[in-house]
Structure 1
């Protein structure tokens, strides 16, 4: 009780002292900072201690999400993360809570992409937060059946790309795996976010006030997101809003130039980021000489700073919830693109250079151009990716890539995109391709398919392949080797029977008629190589038609 009274007296003394100092009129700054507003969520406020107010250090009730239980359906919310306790609670925690309330049949889990933040929280707060890989491994270990992954990134830049690459390695581990989009994914998203932010900051708007939204910035091609968002605001008539970035974009000097052409006397700074973390607190609102607040004050503006992340805005939470709905309604991520098991090699294609398409198992590992060269020594492709996120490729697994540095393929810069010259084993089948992420420094496994669709039909050469027939009475046979053709991404074999009495064949339930009139019965049927194929052939050798089941086997190693 004595300690409590003494503490109360000290607080009273401090308040009285501050009152007199405040009335003195000295050292009054021309800026103000709006701290994060209380969450509209029903969650309790962050915990505090005697040493700090809970803003930066400590944990909150929303951090309890790391304590997972068994579940069949999980929504994994993936965020960059922040070590600031209150903004983690009000933004990341609020998004997670809103999604959990919207989808009570799912368990919501958390993963961070920043290992630095994960390590800092583990050391400082003893708070264990999974990385994406750890979270996915835990889902497998927990035997979760349905997984929805929601990245909370603003754009589909490097961070989003890395999430997709890591998650994509688990496509065969669950009954269903679906991956959501970033905040600003569609034109409708841009419209909604613009209206939400304007409504959130409407009380600041006046003729002499400019509202500046500070994003992070990126070297990734997705950096055009900031420009598009500015264009969206302008198109709606919100020309008193400016969008800038900490780096790699519309930086502070550009913003200062724009402000000089306006009649603004006051500037409101607000982060265009999911959380108001280090960049918001230091680069934007800090007291160092290079912070946006300090520099704009020196320019003569009255500056007000809003330290609130996008995640604590209900309209932003609602938009993420709608993204979850769209993801749940979408198709599950396939393990590999559909393709024939063996595909087609160089020895069956005329020499030349062909412009072809390449399918990828991940939207962010996107191939925008591929020039395939075929010659006597094999096939090579000059393959151009959609941006500059990857620095090297290896035709194989990540483990093989790390161990085999001599066969890593380094990029060349073509039209501001990374291009790679790589060997191609075959077309129309899944091929393992490891990619080195420049930002993370990690290798990621992918599966790609070089498509043959754009190659002219007359460029495919016929070949010979050994054919083996078993089944039936053992009396029938087919000619071997058989002629092997390639059409529309599929192998076809010309089957010549040992008698003229076969009137049709059935392959996967589809009827094929003879391609000849005289001589032994001949058919052209689609075939699978290196596997036992069950077919049905109808013969009239015994008078009435009789269907007989056979097995055909075509050995790909015998192709010549």
Structure 2
């Protein structure tokens, strides 16, 4: 009898332990399920936040010129394009096309380096583009079409180079302007100034104050586009950059002279490269051409 009792007692204890272990396993499964559920909710929340940011883009469908700036001197738009790229907007979604400085960056990823390393991450592939520096030299570089989730705010963009390591970066797309407005006269100025050639006063800002551009400058308007002939007070400027395009001098003797596209009545940023220092140095300037100062340049026959 005692032996039978002991066997039953042992059986009951064993069954109790089995039930306890089963409950513990169920508890672990429930805890895991709860954790996964919370993670799914967090992921959905993050996706919602990204979608809400995308909705902040409020530009009409079309093509724009926009600045593309980064947090690194090693990762930026090719110098020939003055930190600018081509922004395309369609159905509320935006993509910017930028040409880089070399072929050393082989992929980009919209997000962090950690996420870029995951399986099935959607990497941005480059296209090879030839950059013309305007001085007779060209270079093949990698260019990318980058989705833009938000304008005028930083967002994550990871990159991987030829060494095979991902790096985190912050970038920003800002100051979008219609591409077809880049070298044109403003609507109001166009009404006042028909096609022709004019002397127009300009304001000059920037640099050390040792060099300047002569005012007034001769401006030719044709088909709504304005081109200025600008003369520096120095012969040491070997090129200018306007809206990402490089322009070379149109003269070989005397002070440097350039023909560049301009906007009237709007401050415009330009770069002048001077060789007056120990090594060439690009300097930023601001030019403002005032249409209300325009006097028409007449030909020899008075027309």
TM more than 0.5:
no
Q: Which has the higher strand share?
A: 2
Identify the TM-score tier after normalising by the shorter chain: 0.3 to 0.5
- TM-score, normalization by structure 1: 0.20
Q: Which has the higher helix share?
A: 1
Larger relative contact order, structure 1 or 2 (CA cutoff 8 Å, min sep 6): 2
